[in-house]
Chain A
Amino acid sequence: MTGAPSPAFHLVIEDGIAVLTLDLPGSPVNTLGRATAAEFAGHLEALAADPAVRAIVLRSGKEDTFVAGADIEEFTLLRTAAEAEAMSREGQAMIDRVAACPKPVVVAIHGPCLGAGLELSLACTWRLATDHPKTVLGLPEVQIGLLPGAGGCQRLPRLIGVRAALDLILAGKSERAAKAFRIGLVDELVHPAQLRDLAVRAADRLARSGPVRRGGRGGVAGWFLDRTRLGRWIVYRQAERQVRRRTGGHYPAPLAAITAIRTGMERGMRDGLRVEAREFGRLAVSEVSRELVRIFFATTSLKKDDGVPPGTGTPRTVTRLGVVGAGFMGAGIAGTAVTTAGVEVRLKDADLSRVGKGMHAALEQVNKRMARRRITRHEHMRLTALVSGAADFGGFANMDLVIEAVFEDLEVKRGVVADLEAVLGTGALIATNTSTIPIGRIAEGARHPERILGMHFFSPVDRMPLLEVIPGPDTGPDAIVTAVRFGRRMGKTVIVVADHPGFWVNRILSPYLNEAGHLLAEGVRIEQMDRVMTAWGFPVGPMTLLDEVGFDVGLKAGAVMHDAFGARLAPSPILERLVADGRLGRKNGRGLYRYSRGKKAGVDDSAYRVLGVSPRASADPRRVEERLLYLMLNEAALACAEGVVRSPRDGDVGAIFGIGFPPFRGGPLRLIDTLGAARIVEALDRLAEAHGPRFTPCDSLRDMARTNTRFYPE
C-alpha cells in the first residue's frame, strides 16, 4: 500500500448498531490527531445518513487505553495564535457533530480517557466505563499550559456542574472510574469483559427509548452553587482566588479556563466555544505552554530511557527489597516502595525499636493512601503485610535489591556493603542512598563493585518526585537498568548522573544556598529573600529550604562541596553560627522561621541577632534574584560541561523535579538558552567584580557566549 494511510477506525454493523473501533495503527495508544478526527467525521456522517443504523457505539481497539488525548506533537507545530485557535475550532466542530448526531452515540471506555478523548466522550449520549484501575478520566490540558479546547470547558460543567468541572479542569487531574461515576461523569460502571456487549445493549435501548435526562446533584447547596447565577458567581470568584494563590500568576491556563467556562455558562454555548478557542489559541503559542510541553516530552522520553544504551543491560525484576537503616530516609524509601511499587520490604537496623519506628513510618504511607480512599481495606491489608523488619539480615539472601540509608559516613557505609556482600545472593544489587559520598569510594574493596551503585532519593521520599541513579566507576549495566526501572516503579522520575560530589541536584543547589547565606549575612531580610524567589516561581524560597534541609545537614554537605570544588563553593558562615546556637532548622523547631506545633509561624527575628546582622528595610529584589539565580545557572552550565548529566534534558528535568525549579522557565539550562549565554556571562562578570570571584563565569558559558551556541537546538 502506498499513499493512503491505513485507517484508524474499524466498523461493523450488528443488528442496526454500528460499532466503531478506534485502533490507531503503529501506536501503542490512541490519540486524536487531525487525520484521525477527519476519518471519524467521515464515518459519523455516513452512519448518521445510513437508514440501517439505529445507534452508534464508539470504543477502543487498544488493550488498556481508550484515548490518551490529543496529539501533542501537532501542538508544537503551531506557529501563531490564529492557527491554534483554528485548530481548536476544528476540534470543536468535529465534536459538535457527535453531539448533533440524530442517533444515540454510546461510548465504551476502558483505560485512560483523557483530554480530547474525554471531550469526545462528553458529547456522546451515554457513557459506559469499566470499573478497573486502568480506567481514568480527566482533562489534563492545564498541566501543559493549555485548556480543554474541543468543547470540554463547555460540556463538562453542563454535565457534572460548575464546581466539579472546575475541580477537574483547573488541577488537570484524572479521576478513577468509581469517582467518575459518583460525580456523574460516566453513566454506568461495568466489568471489562462485558463492556462491548453492554455498550451495544445500551445503544439498542437508547435507540428505542429516546433521549436521556439527568438530574442535578448535591441537594440545596449544590443547586444554589451550580444552578443559580449568584451561586456560580461565588464559585468562579472562589476558583480565581485559589488559582492566583496557587500559581503566583505564572500560569495563565487555569484563569483562561475559568473565563471559557464562565462565558459558556453565563452567555451560552456559542460564545463559550468562541472564547474557549480564542483562549486555546493564545495559550498554545505562549512561552509557558511551550516550556511545559517540552518538559512533558522530556519526562516522557525519560520514562523510556534506562540509563544505558539500549540492549546493553539486563534488568532484574525487583520483588523483594531490603532497606538497611530504618531512619527517616530508610523508612521513607520503604513506604514508597510498598505503596507504589508493591514490593516486599524488609527493614534492617541494629536496634529493634528503631526498626519498629521505621516500619511505623513506612506503614503511615499506606495508611494515608487508605485514608484518601486510594486503596481499599483489602489492598491495605495486603500492602501492610509487605512491610517487616528485623535487627539481623535474616531473609536478605532472597533480596533482589538492598538500599542502604544508614548514617552518612564512609566507614559505616563500607561496613554495610561488606555485611551485605556476605549474605546476598548472586546478582542482587546494593544501592547506597548517599548525598555526599562518592559511590566509587563506598564500593572500594567490595568483592562485586559491578553491582553497587547510588540511588539518591530526596526527602521526604513519598513526595519528592526525583531519583538520581549514580553508577560508580565499576557499576555494570545490569545494575543501572535495574535501579532505573525500579525507581520508575516507585513513581520517580529517574535521571542517571555521574559520580561527582553533590551529583546534579545538590551540586547546582549548593552555590544558590551559599549565596542565600551571604545575602542574609549582609542583612537581606529572611522573608524578603523567600518572597523574591517564590515570586520568581520557586515553590519555596531559599530560607525556607534551608530550614527544611536542616542546618547540620547543610553544613556537612557544604563542607564536602567546598573540599571538592574549592573557593567557588565555599559555604557562607551562617550555618555554622546557627548550628552553634543549637538551631537545626524545622526538624528541631528552631530555624530561621519559628514553628508552632510543626507549622511555620513567621520569621524568627532572634536569628538575626545570632548571626550578628541588623536586617535592612528592603533590598533591591532584582539584585537578590540575580545573585541567587546566576550562580545556579553558572554551576549548572559547568556541571553539564563536566558530564554530570547525560544531556541538558536530564539536567533540566532534574532541577524541576529535584528542587522545584519553575517548570514554566524550562529548567536552568533551558533558561540559559532563553536568556542567552552572552547576557549571563556579562552579568556574572559584573557580579564578580562587585562580590568576588565566586561569580566568575565558567569556561563553557564563556565559550557558549563567544560562539553563540546553545544547549538545545533552536
Chain B
Amino acid sequence: MPSAAPLSDRTPVVVAGLRTPFAKAGTLFRDANGYDLARTVTRELIYRTEIPPGEVDEVIFGQVVPSPLVPNVAREVSLLPQLPRTIPAYSLNRACASAAQAVANASDQIRFGHADVILAGGVELLSDVPILHTRRMSRTLVALSRARSLGERLRLIASIRPRDLVPVSPAIAEPSTGETMGQSAEKMAKENAISREAQDRIALMSHQRAAAATASGRLGEEIAPWFAGPALDEVVTSDNGIRSDTSLEALAALRPVFDRRYGSVTAGNSSPLTDGAAVTLVMSLGKARALGYRPLAAIRSYAVAAVDPGWQLLMGPVYAVAQALDRAGLVWSDLGLVEIHEAFASQVLSNTEAWASRAWAERLGRSQPVGEVDWDRTNVLGGSIAIGHPFGATGARLVTTLSNELVRRNQQFGLISICAQGGMGFAMVLEQVGGG
C-alpha cells in the first residue's frame, strides 16, 4: 500500500457535492433555463452544507453550449441572493470534462493559496441550444437595426430569401473534421474490434447498477429534488434515463445509428443527450477543519491530454490517466475505485483495452501497461450511458459520486477518467480523507 502524500492545510478537499436529476433533453427541463438549474442545485448545496455564505471565494462552472443570453453562467450562480454579490465567477469549456476542469482549477487556486472555498460545477441544457440564423441573415438583421429610413428598411427586408430563413442548429460534430461524436465512436469500435455484444454488456451493467443505486437511495443522496409541474408539486428525485428493465436482448434489438448496415454503436450503448447541473464544494483542508466540516476526499492530482481528433477521437483518457497516476505517484493497483465517463461503450472499451495493452504501454513510454480494469470496482453506481451525460455537468457528478463512494466503501484512492470533444482526455486522482 503506498503511503498517502502528507496532508497539509492547503490540500484541496472535496467537502460535498450535489446535482439535479439528470433528464433526457426535451423532457423534465424542456422549459427551464440553464442558469436556473445551476442556481437551484448550488442554492441547495449551500443550504445542505450550511456554508457561511461569506466564506465562498469563487464560483467556477463548466458549460459546453452556453446560452448567448447568459454567456457566463457561473456569475449568475455567484449572484444567487443567498450569497454576497461580491464573489467573482467564471465559466469554462473543457468540453465533456468541463465540470471536472472546474474542480481541477479550484484545486489549483486552493493549492496556490488564492482561495479557500470554491463552488465548482457545471451545467448543460441541451433542451435550450441556441438556434442560429445564417450568416447572411444575421448581416441583414444587423443592417436592419441600423437602418435610418423606411426605404432602406424595405430594401433590406426585400433582400431576404427563403433559404435565409432556414435556421442553423449546432451539431455535435468536430469543427476540425466534421465527424460527429457517434461516427467517431463507430470508427473506434471498428478499428479496435470492439464487438456489439461487449458494448451492450457495458450498457446493461450501467443501467443495472444505476437502477440498483437509485432503488437503494444511494444516488438520491446526491440529487437535489426538482420541483416540476404547474403547481411545483411533482417532485423529481431521480434520473429519467435509467432503465431497470433493460436486457441484453432488448439492447441487441436496437439498430446501429451511425452505420446502419455494419455498425455496432446504438442508442442503447451510447449516452443520451441530457440536461442537468452538478456542483461540488471544494475547500482547503485547513479551512474545512476550521469550519468544522468532515471532508470526503483530497484532490491528489489531475492531468489533461489531447490526441489528433482526426485519429481516434476519444482516446485522450489513455494518456491523461497514465499521467495523473504518475503525478499522484500511484499505480493502477492502488486504486480502490474507478469512475469512467461512458460517452459510448465502444469508447469505454477502447480506453480500458489500451490501458491493459503492452503495445500501448510502449506508445506511452512505460515498461508496464497502465492497468487492467476491475469491473467490480469501476462505475459501481452505473455510468453516463444510464444516468445521462449533460456535457458541462458530468465531471462534477463523477467527483461527487467517487468522493462519497470512497468514504462509503472505505477505499483510499479513486480515479476519474473522462473523454472529451476535440480528442481530449481528463483524469483526476482522489484520496479519501473521510472524517479527516
- List residues of chain A with CB under 8 Å of any chain B CB: 344, 346, 352-357, 359-360, 363, 382-383, 385-386, 388-390, 394-395, 397-398
The interface-forming segment of B45-53, B143-151, B402-410 is B45-53
Indicate which residue in B39, B44, B231 contacts A357 across the interface (CB closer than 8 Å): B231
What are 17 pairs between A and B in contact, CB < 8 Å? A344-B81, A344-B82, A352-B227, A352-B235, A356-B229, A359-B232, A360-B232, A360-B233, A385-B80, A385-B81, A386-B81, A390-B44, A390-B47, A390-B225, A394-B47, A395-B48, A397-B50
Contacts of A354 in B (CB 8 A): 233
Asked whether any CB of chain A lies closer than 8 Å to the CB of B372, the reply is: no
Contact assessment for A359 and B227 in the assembled complex, using a CB-CB cutoff below 8 Å:
yes
Contacts of A352 in B (CB 8 A): 225, 227, 235, 237
Contact mask B35-46 → A, CB, 8 Å, 1/0? 000010001101
Asked whether any CB of chain A lies closer than 8 Å to the CB of B234, the reply is: yes
Indicate which residue in B44, B80, B81, B234 contacts A353 across the interface (CB closer than 8 Å): B234
Contacts of A357 in B (CB 8 A): 231-233
* A398 and B55 alpha carbons, distance in the complex (Å): 13
Contacts of A386 in B (CB 8 A): 81-82
Contact mask B206-246 → A, CB, 8 Å, 1/0? 00000000000000000001010101111101000000000
Interface of B: prevailing SS: loop
Nearest chain B CB to A707 CB, angstrom units: 57
Contact assessment for B81 and A382 in the assembled complex, using a CB-CB cutoff below 8 Å:
yes
Closest B residue to A389 by beta carbon equals B227
* A360 and B235 alpha carbons, distance in the complex (Å): 12
* A346 and B50 alpha carbons, distance in the complex (Å): 13
- List residues of chain B with CB under 8 Å of any chain A CB: 39, 43-44, 46-48, 50, 52, 80-82, 225, 227, 229, 231-235, 237
* A456 and B82 alpha carbons, distance in the complex (Å): 27
Contact assessment for A398 and B81 in the assembled complex, using a CB-CB cutoff below 8 Å:
no
Indicate which residue in B39, B47, B52, B232 contacts A385 across the interface (CB closer than 8 Å): B39
Contacts of B48 in A (CB 8 A): 394-395
Nearest chain B CB to A347 CB, angstrom units: 11
* A356 and B47 alpha carbons, distance in the complex (Å): 17
Closest B residue to A354 by beta carbon equals B233
* A386 and B81 alpha carbons, distance in the complex (Å): 6
Contacts of B233 in A (CB 8 A): 353-354, 356-357, 360
Contact assessment for B235 and A353 in the assembled complex, using a CB-CB cutoff below 8 Å:
yes
* A395 and B232 alpha carbons, distance in the complex (Å): 21
Residue in B44, B233, B237 with the greatest tally of chain A CB atoms within 10 Å:
B233
Closest B residue to A390 by beta carbon equals B47
Nearest chain A CB to B138 CB, angstrom units: 25
Nearest first, the 9 closest Cβ-Cβ pairs linking A and B are: A395-B47, A360-B232, A356-B232, A356-B227, A352-B235, A353-B233, A394-B48, A357-B233, A356-B233
* A386 and B46 alpha carbons, distance in the complex (Å): 13
Nearest chain A CB to B50 CB, angstrom units: 5
Contact assessment for A388 and B47 in the assembled complex, using a CB-CB cutoff below 8 Å:
yes
Contacts of A385 in B (CB 8 A): 39, 43, 80-82
Nearest chain B CB to A489 CB, angstrom units: 16
Nearest chain A CB to B81 CB, angstrom units: 5
Known pairs A385-B43, A385-B80, A385-B81; A356 contacts B235 (CB<8 A): yes
* A395 and B39 alpha carbons, distance in the complex (Å): 16
Residue in A359, A389, A395 with the greatest tally of chain B CB atoms within 10 Å:
A395
Contacts of B80 in A (CB 8 A): 385
Contacts of A356 in B (CB 8 A): 227, 229, 231-235
Contact assessment for A388 and B44 in the assembled complex, using a CB-CB cutoff below 8 Å:
yes
* A352 and B232 alpha carbons, distance in the complex (Å): 10
Contacts of B235 in A (CB 8 A): 352-353, 355-356
Nearest chain A CB to B54 CB, angstrom units: 11
Nearest chain A CB to B260 CB, angstrom units: 44
Nearest chain B CB to A549 CB, angstrom units: 25
Closest B residue to A398 by beta carbon equals B50
* A395 and B44 alpha carbons, distance in the complex (Å): 9
Closest B residue to A386 by beta carbon equals B81
* A397 and B237 alpha carbons, distance in the complex (Å): 24
